[in-house]
Every structure is written in C-alpha cells, then in structure tokens.
Structure 1
C-alpha cells in the first residue's frame, strides 16, 4: 500500500507536466492562493504604469465576493471594485482597505489591507511594451507568455482570466514554466485580458507582481480579399428634392486585418466623366464588426443643397484596402412631389384649413338657409300666429277672370293626408282642358284654403290699403308659419314680389320659426336674367331654398306628384 503511494507521488507530477496531449486538457494545478492568503491581513501588489490592472477578489466558501477597495490616507479619496480592469497610474499607489464583515475567510469584523505600488516603465528591467498585447489565430493553439518571464528565473506564475483563475476554467488549457498555453483558441471567448502574478521578495516582504496581457483573437494573419460594397448597387438612381440637402450612403465590408487599411470615399463625376472627379464633403465614417472574419465601414457623402446641376453629374463610392479596390456609381433624379405628401406637410395642412375656411365663409349664408329649412321645423301651434301660410304670387292676365268663376265649399280645418290627396285632384277632375288652362295661383289658393283648411294671408285681401306697405308685409310674414312664393318670370320682374321673397329670407335668417317654400311655375325661372338684377341675398337663397316644380302640361301624373309633395311640405299643427 505504501509502495503504491510512493509510485503515485512520482508519476503524478510527470503527468501534470504534459500539455494538450491528444487534444485533452492537462492542467497544472498551481499551489498557492487564488486571492489573499488565509493567514494574512496585509497584501502587497506591484503594477507597471500604463498597463491594465485589477484589484484581487476574495474567495470564500460560498464563492466569489465583490468588494470595494478604498484608499486610506492621502489627499484624495480613491476606490476600486475588485474584478474591474483599469489602467494603472503612479498616483494610484497607496494603502487600500476592504471591510469584509462576516463574509470573509477571516474572523467577523476584520479589516483587510492591500499595499499597491505602481512603478514606472523605466524601472522595470528589460521592459518590452509589445509583451502586453498579443494576437492569437482562431482555431489554432496559442501560447500566452507572462511579460518579463525571460528576465527572471522565477517560474512560479499564477494565471487569471479577468478575476477567474485559469485552473477553474473548463477548457483545454495548461500552464508550464510561466507560459499559458491554449490548446484551441476559440474566437471571442478567448479575447480578454489575462493576468499573470509572480511573487517577488523585497526586504523581507513578498510582493505580487501583476502583469497584464491583452489577447485578441484574429481569423488570419494576412489580408485575404479586396473590399466588397454592399450598398448602394451599381447604376442605382436615388431620388432627391431640389433645394434640400441629400446624404449619399456607402456600406463596405472588408476582410479582417490587424492594422486596418480600409478606406471609403465619395466622389462627384462632373458631367458624368469619371476622369474629372471631385471629392465630396463627407461625414465621419462609422465602423463595426458583426463576425470575426470581417468588419464594415459606413461612409456618408453630403450635398448641402441640391441644385439642377447636381442632376447632371454622377457619384462614385470607391473602397480600397491593401489588396485592392472596388467602386459603384449612382445618379440623382428629381423626386416627383405627390399631393399626398403635400397634405402631410404643416404648410399644406395650414393651406387646406385656410381654403376650407374661405369656402365656408363664402357659403355660410347658404349653409344657414339649408340648416333652418330642413332641421328647425316640426309641429306648430295654430294659436301662436295669425296665419298658417303667407301666399305670395303675381296675377297672370287670365287669373282674375278664372278666379272669379271658381267656387268651392270650405272645410273647417286641415284634413288628413289621404283626404288631401283626393281633394287635391278635384280641380283637375273637372275637365282636362279647363285644368290645364287654370293658373296655379287660382288652384293653389282654393286647395290650401277651401280644401285643406289652412289660414291664408293674401296681399290683395288681408293687407289693408293706405298703410305702410313694407311694414305690413314684414309683420304679415312674421305672423305666418309658412311663406310660399310662386316663382315665375313675372314674379321675378315684380318689385313687390321680390320684396316679399327677400323679406321672407331675412325673417328665416333671424331665427324666426318660419318655413319657406318656392314653387317654380317654369323650370328656367331661376335662370332668367332680370333687369334690374335680383338682390344678392335673393340670388343666393334661390340656389338652396326648398322648391317644387309645377308642370301644367302633364295634369295626370305630374300634378298628382306635385300636390302630394306640397301636402308633405305644409306645416303640421299639434
């Protein structure tokens, strides 16, 4: 049994010295501590000015703990989080304290102290700045040397990736003679800052000399391809607006290279001639990388104000690197402004509002008449006003003769719609020839008053002579529920008739509960040219006032429709 232990103790170190054998991990588990020693409350660290540095993190039984190291003494307060990388400066030198409470490996309430000394580069023997950065080829194996390892025989080195000991990383990796070997470099995973700690004895004090190596993983060491323009496409046409600025955008992909040589420029080809090129004004390029194997550059060219001359030129984006160049050429075309886009602009919207306002102002009178004629009337109280209907007409030459021979029995009041329809046909049932020759003012007067029982106001009968004519007419209109005007050529030429119509429109606009109906005895009566011309108020009102057409040449169906429509338009009593 003891012999087995002795053999194992000799064989085990030999196995650990192997590295990346057969693609499997062979780790050298470093003796020593991953953070502060358990029996010490004071630690001493040394760093090089300008190199990356990280305050150590303690490790407890429950895992890693984040602490804040605060400097004690000194003129300025200074603190650093453990695990945070920062460039070391000489001014950072000093004594730092960390309160651990009951979370540390030490007894509850103990304080830990760290002495940091940042030395200048010139004080470090055989200092080589290139050792602080390293490029490794993706997919291959790689070695990370500890800076300054060749200047010392001390091979006791502890490696960290960030604040994690490499011995805790689950991957093919090993340490040997102060050298960290990655069996297979894995892209962005291995791109990080690695720290190597070496113990240095000075005047009986053990200092941990921490050096940093920035590792960058690259897909290849040499450039492989020329650039590739992703946007715009060659011979593309871009739409522009004259008088406005325009931006030309060019996006180019370059293969990875250690020192970027990629350049992108916009040129204006005067008159489309590529031999006569002018460099355009350009913005600061944007650069980025989506995958390890390539990076992209976006370069914008800028035209401050597009003029017609710009439409005559072509524009070329040229991209180049150390291996070659490529280019695309585009043209500019004037954008056709659509009405839809104008409506969306503030100026067009304001213009639309102004136009609508002007139209409403011009048509406001007509709108008021339409509203009052169609929406403000219902049933009425017969006792409220003196007359039901003010009937306005102008006698035709034969009206007086026929009117004298027409008699009809009166009825005591308004009849039903069915009776009205039957009664309204009576004047036409006498004789067709007689009805055709009977003027409408005679028929209408008899039907409204004697058959339908409405109280009519007639100028020749109910307006007493010798009074103030205009006042009497206005009062009579205001005292009626409805005004009916028989519109004919004679009526429009009669000043008294026009005055009645104008007074009725004014009464309607003055919020009077008045219905107004126009009966046109000929279809062209509204378009007759009058001398003198009709008042503007009457001209505009005639366009929108409710109206009925009387056609005496078709007494059967035409008259029937007329009398039915008239009955529906008459005021209804409660």
Structure 2
C-alpha cells in the first residue's frame, strides 16, 4: 500500500512538472467567444465547441482533478485559478462558475485537461453592463414556479443587443440539452424561444441555461445566460404542529442530572418565512421566554425542525416549573409541554410490577380453569340467551333421529338400564319433556308396511341430528348397521345434519365396517353413558348431549329454571325413572 502511494505521488509530480505548456495554448486562436451581461450568473466548460452539444457542463468531481484553469488579464499576465469555495469564479466539475459575473472578469480563460494534455480550450469573454447592452427586460437569474401550475420560462437577456442578429435559443437543464420527450417529461414545449411547462413538477428544480448566437457583421458571439428554477408551493394556511412533546409529556428524572429537552415541530411551506421555535419556563407567577430559534421551511410539503433546550443541573425548583415549546409562523402557533417528575425508587417500582404480573397471571390461570371446567355451561347459557334458533325455517320435521339395537334377551336384567329402555323411555322423557325437542323413534314415528330402507333415509333427511346409541349388540344388528351407514352418507350430503355418538356400553368396532364409517367413529367425539345406579353419575352426560343438540328456544320450564345447573332437573327426572323401575321389579 505504501509503495502504491509513492507511485501515485511520483506520477502526480511528474504531471505537475510538465505543468501544461500554457504558452502553446496562449498562442492558439480563440476557440469560442462569449458576450455576457454583468451581475448575472455565468458558466463556461472546458470543452471544445461543437455544432450542437448535448452537454455543456458536468458537475462530477472527477473533472476537478483533471481540469486546470488559467486567466489572462488585460495586462497580459497569466494567473492560475485555484480551487476555493468562496472565490469568484469557482471551479466546479469541468466548468468555471461566475456568481455574479463582473465587468472586470472580461478576458481570456484557458483550460487544459490533465487526462488529455493536447486538449486546450481558449475562451474569450466580454462582459458588459445592461446599459451598454441595451437590456430592457427583467433578467433575474432566480425564478420561482408554483408546483402543479402551468408557466413559461424566458431566456434572461434575450432582449439585450437588439441591433444584433439573434439565432434561435437552445435550452439546457443541469448541463444536458432539453429535448421534447413526451414519456420522460410530458407537457414540455418550445414556443418563440421560451420553454413552456404545461404542468410544473417537483423534478423541474434545477439550473437552466439558454444559449444562442449573436451576429455582429462578420463576427459571431455566443450568448449564454442562466436561470435557476426553484419549485415552490403556496404559503401554508395552517399553524405549525408540535410533534414532540405531544400535549403534556412527563419525564422522570433525578435531581442534579444533566437533561436535554428536545422539541420537534412541523412547519408548512412559506416563501417569506417568519417562523420560529421558542422555549418558555412557566412558574406559578409568570411565563418567561428563555430561548428562540428562527426557522425557514422550504420543502414543498413543509419541513420538520428540532430544537434542544438544555438544563445543566436539575433542581427542586425545576420540578415545580413547566417547560413549554412554542412553534409559531405567520398563521398561528401550537405548543407542547414538559413536566419533570422525581424518578420512583427502582426497588418499589420493580416490586409493584412483579405483584401486578403475578396477580395477572393468577387471574388468567383461574379464569382459564373456570372456563375449562364450565365450558359447556357457558356455551349452553350463550345458546339460550344469545344464539339464533337453528330450527326456524330449516324445513326439518324432527330434531333428532334415534338409532339403537335391541339388547340380547339373556342380559336384560344384568344392567340397571338397557339400550332399548334408554332410547324409548329415558331419551324422550328428558329431551322431549324437559327440553322441548322432537325425536323420531322407529317404533313410534315410522309406520309399518313401507320400504324400510327408504323410510329410514327419508326420516334422516327430515332430521337435524342422528343419535346413535352404540353397544356391542348394535354392531351385530343388520338394521342398526344400515341406519349407521345411512346416517353417515346423509351427513356427507347434507351439512346441516350432524351425528351424535352415544357410547352406552364399551364395544369393539368390527373390521367389516365400511371405511368411511370407521373414519367417522374415529373422528367424532362420543358422549359416554356411565353404567351406575347412582343418580348423579350422568349429570355431565345430559349437559353434553344438550350441547350437541340443535339450538332451540322452546325448552321446558324446568330446564329454563336450571339453565346453569341442570343437575337438579336431571336428578329429578332420573329419580322418577328409577322409582318407576324399582316398582316394576317389585311387582315382578
């Protein structure tokens, strides 16, 4: 790396040692002659003149290293022009910029390109006052255009030298020739040497140059003037907005600490801005202005400004004061306020957060547990008071079709209740008498003499649910298996029908069942009947069964009274049933 730096330094010194044979450049004829008006902006580039150039200058800093400029004064001395941001003229890119151009700037300017030593450009400039040039119009270099409006741009100084013959004007923007391109810049036209903009865009900002030729007898002079286009918006009609602090902002601090209060405010566009950000300290007695900053919003959408007020050491008095940030423009003002508060002890603050967190977690756990255990009760409560009645307008005749198999005669007396007794007596007694549902029982609702298979399928289609009382004998009975398969097919065709599987006894599914029936038995949940003589064993069973039944708002009086605790109602129904059964067995 060090070797590379030494090589670069040697090459630079070698180039400088040649220091451009300026004598030869002075002896060559003038490449281009300019007439210019004093007190205007002006620019010339280190390029040999072309008939119709597409670029007249370039901003790139690469040229600043390659191009060297010289000036030959009226007394014949040659002066090398150095790069200085405050000098006039200024070297920028491959061009020499005058701001403003003065009469004393008249003379010969030479430029040599380091990259191409043989390239030498000899430029002659004559600067005259407006009076000598017979200028009558306004030749200001800066022009402000309202965005979204149409306008035209005249070439400044075009009215000068009226006794000379003028060629047509060529326009350049930021050094590049302007052409009519409807795609990249719609609404742009040339009219009588003017640049017409049918619609002004934000991107129209820039430095515009107009070039034309003056013919004085046999001599030709190039005339060049600059106009800087600045796109503006109409002045705001709204006061500024304080973005921070918003309303009243409370800061926790410690006494004695250093503090910076930052105020952010958005101002709308103003051409002649008289805007400011002000800081006030408000006490119980008065309000005092302690700091002020002037701002000048220039963005088309406005501009956001920040200002910081510093407290080197916070005291007890600062805790009682209010620190007000006021943003003001010609339309009005808005404010924001800081209040200082002593920082809470971290230990107490942490303990408070910990207690709140533990309390919240316990509340969530207890609430989740309650919902888990009382989920069915909550759903039943919601269904009764808020849910829509499913049975209204569905053209169904039955709330549920009940399918069961007659038990093995040899095992009737072994259980306190068999599936036939459960299906024909207990289900109607609870679901119909207590909850107002209408069940379809084969022995009661299907007339004999018809086609059994058609009657079953039609009845299933007219039902909202299909209740299957599953036992070992259920899978041995052909009629039961047909009803199960028919119910599965009907459910697959009609999505409004649902299956309710009641596991009355434990059973083993036979392998011969159809695949879709096996899948249904595996997927659907089962409501399990507890085989017990206890009156409270199946309280949860009846709640789950009611949960799976359709929503219906015609349930019985007893069920209404015990909506959230159906236990009392079910116990009463179950006791009645067992008393009846005990009486029948005693007679036997």
Please indicate, yes or no, whether the TM-score normalized by the shorter chain is above 0.5. Answer: no
- How high is the TM-score relative to the length of structure 2? 0.43
TM-score under structure 1 normalisation?
0.44
